[in-house]
Structure 1
Amino acid sequence: MNAIDEQRFTALYREHHPAVDAYVRRRLGGSPASDDVVAEVFLTAWRKLEAIPRKAVLPWLYATARRTLANTYRAERRRLDLAEEVARQPHAHAADPAEGVAGQLAVAAAFAALSESDREVLRLVSWEELPARQAAKAVGCSTAAFHVRLHRARARLRHHLDLAQQSPAPQASATVGGADA
């Protein structure tokens, strides 16, 4: 970006930030996510400054805000759906807290056993909550190829978890340093 682009963005931000902020806040009802959505709108504007029409800046920003809000709504819906699903499942409480830790360790070990590319695909979808199209861009492949990679990564993770469940837990030994005490 050159100085002229920076000046244009600064002017655009100063002129339209209040309107975009109000637009987002009216739709989110004072949610703490409002600031993040507005910031994402202007980050997109910065990245796509050359694509913004000079005479219709505010409509372009509103359209960007609408898409950003849609992504926010989808992410929130996924979180709520997951919470409902977890709430519907019967709770199998571990009698011993160590059993819960052992399960978490098994998942961590299965995840660690995956290749870095499999771990990255799973992270982008699960942790970063990126839609497949955006995650595909992040790893540098088509959306269809990303879906295949994601399917295979999940299958490999399930395989590693199944292996962990089938193998007996290591027993504590009464020996010290490999010699009988």
Structure 2
Amino acid sequence: MDTTTDEQRFTRVYRETYAAVEAYVRRRIHPDRARDVVAEVFLVAWRRFDEAPVADALPWLYGVARRTLANVHRADQRHAGLTQVLAAQPGRDVDDHAGAVADRLHLAEAFDGLSESDQEVLRLALWEELAPKDAARVLGCTSATFQVRLHRARRRLRRRVASTGEAEAPSRGTRANMLPETTGSGRDA
């Protein structure tokens, strides 16, 4: 295959048939998409130019255009089907978590301002979810002493949360709302 001769022949065929191929495509697809399809037709034609008849390439190019248009129509149908499937999906509301994140950061800042002993009491009750007798054993004190320490640590945390700019307790679901006044088992905390 002599590329210079093929390039010259393709250039000649392109110039002679472009308008006819474009008209063929425009009659079968929206005019806004016609140029892209015609470009695809001539790309396929260049790749398979050795199959093109030497004498009259226009009918062969119409065949290439017909198959290219069929591919475009199939892609459009797949797109439309997918659009219908997606439209039929139930809508999901996405909650804005910015407030909860800000509340948690505010609570973390207040927690970090507590003494290490208050932090440890709260960690044992809230994070480790230990019962008061078990948490007391960890700290080496009685259950009653642990419950008093827990009550005081919660109160100090609430004060710190309020004093660092929050007029109200953080939103529901944050750790500050998991600080009940009762001093039952650590599971209540």
Q: TM-score scaled to structure 2, two decimals?
A: 0.49
- Give the aligned length: 104
Match of 1:70 in 2: 70
Match of 1:96 in 2: 96
Query: In the superposition, relative to structure 1, how do residues 16 and 97 fare at CA in structure 2: closer, same or farther (>3 Å)?
Result: farther
Distance 1:65 1:2 in 2: 24
Distance 2:6 2:69 in 1: 26
- Aligned-partner SS, 2:70: helix
Ranges in structure 1 where 5+ consecutive residues have no aligned partner: 99-170
How do 1:48-87 and structure 2 match up within 5 A? 48-87=48-87
Q: Structure 2: which amino acid aligns with 1:10?
A: T
Distance 2:77 2:97 in 1: 31
Cα RMSD (Å) of the superposition? 2.7
Distance 2:73 2:41 in 1: 15
Q: Structure 2: which amino acid aligns with 1:66?
A: R
Q: What per-residue deviation string (whole Å, max 9, x for no partner) do you get for residues 5-38 of structure 1?
A: 11100100000000000000000131x2211110
State yes or no: 1:8 paired with 2:34: no
How do 1:100-119 and structure 2 match up within 5 A? none
Match of 2:24 in 1: 23
Ranges in structure 2 where 5+ consecutive residues have no aligned partner: 99-103, 120-189
State the shift of 1:90 in Å: 1.1
Match of 1:166 in 2: none
- The higher-RCO structure (CA 8 Å, 6+ apart) is 2
Distance 2:53 2:22 in 1: 20
The percentage of aligned residue pairs carrying the same residue is: 49
Distance 1:18 1:91 in 2: 47
Query: In the superposition, relative to structure 1, how do residues 11 and 94 fare at CA in structure 2: closer, same or farther (>3 Å)?
Result: same
Q: What per-residue deviation string (whole Å, max 9, x for no partner) do you get for residues 90-145 of structure 1?
A: 111112278xxxxxxxxxxxxxxxxxxxxxxxxxxxxxxxxxxxxxxxxxxxxxxx
State the shift of 1:86 in Å: 1.1
Q: Structure 2: which amino acid aligns with 1:76?
A: D
Distance 2:23 2:45 in 1: 17
Query: In the superposition, relative to structure 1, how do residues 97 and 44 fare at CA in structure 2: closer, same or farther (>3 Å)?
Result: farther
Q: Structure 1: which amino acid aligns with 2:30?
A: G
Q: Structure 2: which amino acid aligns with 1:60?
A: W
State the shift of 1:59 in Å: 1.0
Distance 2:75 2:61 in 1: 21
Distance 2:89 2:64 in 1: 38
Distance 1:97 1:59 in 2: 62
Distance 1:97 1:84 in 2: 30
Q: Structure 2: which amino acid aligns with 1:92?
A: R
Query: In the superposition, relative to structure 1, how do residues 51 and 97 fare at CA in structure 2: closer, same or farther (>3 Å)?
Result: farther
Q: Structure 2: which amino acid aligns with 1:2?
A: T
